Structure 1
Amino acid sequence: MTARRPTSTAHPRIAIAHDYLTQRGGAERVVLSLARAFPDAEIHTLFYAPDQTYPEFRDMRIRTSGLKSIGPFRRDPRIALPLLAAASSRMRIDADVVIASSSGWAHAFPTAGRKIVYCHSPARWLYLPEDYLGDAGRLDPKRLLLSVLTPALKIWDRRAAMTAHRYLANSSVVRERIRRVYRIDAPTLFPPFSPAVAEGEQEPIPELAGWAGADGTAGGHFLVVSRLQPYKHVDRVIEAFGGLPDERLLVIGKGPEKERLVELAGENVRLVEGLSDAQMRWAYGNARALVAASHEDFGLTPLEAGAHGVPTIALRAGGYLDTVEEGVNGLFFEEPTAEAIREAVHRFDENPPEERTRIIDRAARFSEEHFVDALRIEAGRMSGVSA
C-alpha cells in the first residue's frame, strides 16, 4: 500500500467519503461524527437522497456520482450493483487526506493524497452472501446476479483495499474479517454513539397513542432499532413476542422486509420509521430494554440505549461482544430463534439490571469525543501535520 505522499501544509485538505447517503443507520451517524470532526470537509458519496437520511446532511457540501440522477438507484442502491464498481473507480477526490467510511465502495474512491479507510465491514455481498441475501431462493434474481458478478468483484475489491494507506476496523469481529479477507492488520477504533440520540428533550410518537398509553407518553415497551433486512432477524424477535402477549414490542426501522414484518406482527407489536431525534430519545428513554438479535459488525444500538440507562438483551455474537457486558448493561441469548429470545425476555423480567448509573458509564466509554480525537490524530499523521 504505497503511493505519493502529499506535500505537508499548515492546513491539510481533508475530505470524507461514504458509500451512499440514502438511509438512516449507524454508518450514516458515523459520517455525521466525521463531519463534526472535520467541519470544512466535503463529503463524497455515490448517492445522496436528502429525504431518506439524516437532515443534518442538508447543510453540508456533498458531491455524488454520475448515477445520482437515476431515481430508483437513489431509493435502493443495491439494484445498481453491476454499475457501482465502475462508478466508485471514477469518484476521484482531490484532497490531502481522505477518510473513507466504507462497507464496500468508498474504500475504492481514488484520491490525490492519502486514504484512511474506516471499515464497517468488507462487502457483505462478497464475503457474507447469505447474510446479504437472506431467504432468497436458488433461482432468485439477486442470487443469480451476485453469483455472476462475485469473481470479478472480489478481484476489484481486494485491489481497492490495497490503495489505502491506513485501515481502521470498527469492531473486533471486523478487524478479524479484514485480516482474513485483505491480509491487513487494522487497529480497532470503536464508533461513537450519537449525542443527538442521547441528549435533549423527548417527543412522544403520535402513532403509538393508545398503544403506548392513552396519551402516547407511557413507556415500558421492549425496543428493536434496526434496518429491516433479512439478516437482522427482526422477524425472530416479532415471533418471540407473539408468545409474550403481556409484553409490548416497538420496532423502529425501514427496509425491504417491512411489509412482511407488518403482516407478522401481532397486536402487541408496532413498527414505525422516519422518527426525529427527539422521538428516538423518547423510544429509548422509555423502553424497558433493547432487543438486539442480529449478527452485527458493531453493536451500536446498545450504546444508544445505554446512554439512557436502558439495558440490552443481545445475541452473543459479533459486535455485541464489544458493547454488551453481561450483568452490567445487559444479558445474552445464544441463537437468533424466537424460543431463545422469548426465554431471554423471561430471564430479564426475573432479574433486570437495576444500576442505571453503571449502564450509562459503560456507554460513556464510547463517546464521540474519543472517536473524534483518535481520527484527528490519524489524519494528522497521514498529512504530516500534528493533530
Structure 2
Amino acid sequence: MKIAIIHEWLDSYAGSERVLEQLFAIFPDADLHVVCDFLPQGERGFLGGRVPRTSFIQRLPRARQWFRYYLGLMPIAVEQFDLSGYDLVVSSSHAVAKGVLTGPGTLHVSYVHSPMRYAWDLQHQYLRQARMERGVKGALTRWLLSRMRAWDFASGARPDIIAANSAWIAERIRKSWRRESVVVHPPVDLEGFPFQAAKGADYVVASRLVPYKRIDLIAEAFRRMPDRRLVIAGDGPEMARVREAAGDAKNIEIRGRVSQPDLVALLATARAFVFAAEEDFGIGMVEAQACGTPLIAYARGGATDIVQPDTTGVLFPHQTTESLIDAVTRFETLAISPEACRDNAQRFSRDVFRDRMRSLVQDALAARGMAA
C-alpha cells in the first residue's frame, strides 16, 4: 500500500510529535507531509532520516518565526497536498491536518488531539489571554476565528475514521463536528519513568507555568495548608502570579525548570502529583502513575480517563482552592498502592497505542475490502 502521514507543523519534539513517532513505527514506509518544517537539527532523530514534504507556508516571509500567524492560510495549504496516489492517509491533527482532501479510493484515518481549540469553546479564553477582547485587532481576530470555525466544522466530515485522544476530546468532537470517534489514548514512554514504591512527604507539581494550568490555584491552596509541603517544578509566563499566590509560605518551594533526571526523581518520590488544569489528556499524570505516584487532579478533561478514583488517586470537582484542599484531606485518608498506580499506567504505553491504532486501521481497510 502507498501510505501518507499528515502532520501540522514541526518546530519541536513535543506531545504530538511523540504520536507521530509511533505512527512511523506502525507505518515505516509512509511519506510525511507537513504544513512547515522548522524542527531543530538536534530534535530530528525521531524522523528516521525522513524528509517531510512541506506546503507553500514554508516559503512565506519569515515563516520560521511567524508560521503560527499564517494560521488563516493553513486550510488552503493542507488542501494543496496531492494525495490522489495514496491508498491510506493517516493525519495527526489539532488544527488543520484532518482537512486534507482525499478521493473515494483512499481511506483517511485521523488521530485528533483536539478540534481547533481557539476557534470553538476556548475562543473567549484565547482572546482574553492575548488581550484582544476589544479594538480593531480583536475584531479582525474574531472574524478570522469565525472563518476558521466554519472550515473546521466542514473539514471535520472529511476523515473516514476519527480517533480521539481521550473521552473528553471525543465529546468535543461530537459537540463541534457532530461526529463519532473511537478513543485511542496517546502513547507514553513508561520506561523513562521507573517504578519506585518508597514515597516522600512532598506534594509535587511539574508543569509549564501558563494560565490554564492553574498552578497559582495549587500554590494558594497549599499556602493555606502550612503543614503540607509543595514543590513546584517548571517555568513560564505565569511565574510572577505563582510566586504571588505562594506568598512567603515556608512550605512551598518553587524550583523553576528542572532537568529530566531531576523531574523523574521528583515524580518518583512524591507523596502525590497535583494537577489542576482542564487538559485534553495529560501525559504528565501518566508519567507520575508510571513511577507509582498517586494523583490529585481536577475532574475534567483527560484526568477522568486516567485517574481511577480512590484506587490510583483523587478527583476534585471544582477548580477552586477549597475543592483542592478537600481533595488533599480526602487523599490522606486513603491507602493508595504504588503498584496499583504503575499497573494503571500500563494502559497508556506505546505498545498499547500501536496495537490500537494498527487494529483500527486494519479493521477499516478490511471493511472496504482493501489489503492491510
Q: TM-score range by the shorter chain?
A: 0.7 to 0.9
Q: 2:284 aligns with which of 283, 301, 306?
A: 301
Please tell me whether the aligned partners of residues 29 and 194 of structure 1 are also in contact (alpha carbons under 8 angstroms): no
- The Cα shift of 1:105 comes to 1.2
Which is worse superposed, 112-121 or 304-313?
112-121
1:228 and 1:142 mapped to 2: Cα distance?
Answer: 26
1:80 Cα deviation (Å)?
2.9
User: Is 1:14 the equivalent of 2:3?
Assistant: yes
1:272 and 2:253 aligned: no
Q: CA deviation at 1:85?
A: 2.4
Q: Answer whether contact 1:297 1:319 (CA < 8 A) is retained.
A: yes
Structure 1 residue 338, shift from structure 2 partner: 3.3
Instruction: Extract unaligned runs of 5+ from structure 2.
Output: none
What's the Cα RMSD here? 3.3
Give the match for residue 378 of structure 1.
360
* Mapping of residues 296-375 of structure 1, within 5 Å: 296-348=279-331, 350-351=332-333, 353-375=335-357
Instruction: Indicate how the Cα distance of structure 1 residues 288 and 167 shifts in structure 2: closer, same or farther if over 3 A, else same.
Output: same
Match of 1:118 in 2: 111
Given that 1:118 and 1:169 are in contact with CA atoms closer than 8 Å, whether structure 2 keeps it comes out as yes
Alignment partner, residue 80 of structure 1: 70
Which of these residues, 58, 73, 87, is aligned with residue 68 of structure 1?
58
What aligned pairs does 1:81-120 form with structure 2 within 5 A after superposition? 81-93=71-83, 95-111=86-102, 113-120=106-113
| Partner Cα distance (1:139, 1:298) in 2 | 32
**Which residue identity lines up with residue 304 of structure 1 in the other structure?**
E
Question: 1: CA distance between counterparts of 2:295 and 2:33?
Answer: 35
Deviations 1:123-170, CA, capped at 9 Å, x for gaps: 111112134345454227774343111232222212222221111222
Calculate percent identity across the aligned residue pairs: 32
CA drift at 1:179: 1.7
Aligned mates of 1:133, 1:140 — CA distance in 2: 11
Q: Relative to structure 1, is the Cα distance of residues 100 and 358 closer, same or farther in structure 2, using a 3 angstrom cutoff?
A: same
Cα distance in 2 between the residues matched to 1:286 and 1:17: 39
SS at match of 1:50: coil
CA shift for structure 1 position 76:
6.7
Q: Which residue of 1 aligns with 2:180?
A: 185
Instruction: Give the 3-state SS of the residue equivalent to 1:317 in structure 2.
Output: coil
Normalising by structure 1, we get a TM-score of 0.78
Is 1:248 the counterpart of 2:243? The answer is no
Contact kept? 1:22, 1:53, Cα under 8 Å: no
What's the offset of the Cα at 1:196?
5.0
Q: Secondary structure at the match of 1:192?
A: coil
Deviates more, 1:87-96 or 1:157-166: 87-96
1:324 is displaced (CA, Å) by: 0.6
- What's the offset of the Cα at 1:187? 2.0
Deviation at 1:49, TM superposition (A): 3.8
| Pairwise CA distance, 1:289 | 1.8
The Cα shift of 1:330 comes to: 0.6
- For residue 244 of structure 1, report the CA deviation from its aligned partner: 4.7
> Residue in 1 aligned with 2:30?
41
Shift, 1:310, TM fit: 0.7
Q: Which amino acid aligns with 1:336?
A: Q
1:151 partnered with 2:134? no
Q: Which amino acid aligns with 1:20?
A: W
Runs of 5+ consecutive residues of structure 1 not aligned to the other structure: 1-11, 202-217
CA distance in 2, matches of 1:47, 1:296: 26
Q: 1:34 to 1:340 in 2, by over 3 A?
A: same
Shift of 1:313: 0.6
Name the SS of the counterpart of 2:348 in structure 1.
coil
Check 1:172–1:238 CA distance in 2 against 1; reply closer, same or farther (3 A cut): same
What is the letter of the counterpart of residue 99 of structure 2?
A
Distance 1:53 1:144 in 2: 40
Residue 126 of structure 2 aligns with an amino acid whose one-letter code is: Y
Give the CA deviation at 1:108: 1.2
d(CA) in 2 for partners of 1:142 and 1:342?
40
Q: 1:142 to 1:170 in 2, by over 3 A?
A: farther
Change (3 A) 1:96 1:319: same
Q: Pick which of 55-64 and 363-372 moved more.
A: 55-64
In structure 1, the partner of 2:124 is 130
Residue by residue over 1:241-270, the C-alpha shift from the partner in whole angstroms, topping out at 9 and shown as x without a partner, is 44455513233465x546655676666112
TM-score (structure 2 length as normaliser): 0.81
Q: Contact (CA 8 Å) 1:221, 1:250: kept in 2 or not?
A: no
In the TM superposition, residue 68 of structure 1 has moved relative to its aligned partner by 3.3
Q: Is the 8 A contact 2:292 2:339 kept in 1?
A: yes
CA contact (8 A) 1:314 1:331 kept: yes
**1:308, 1:70 → 2: CA distance?**
45
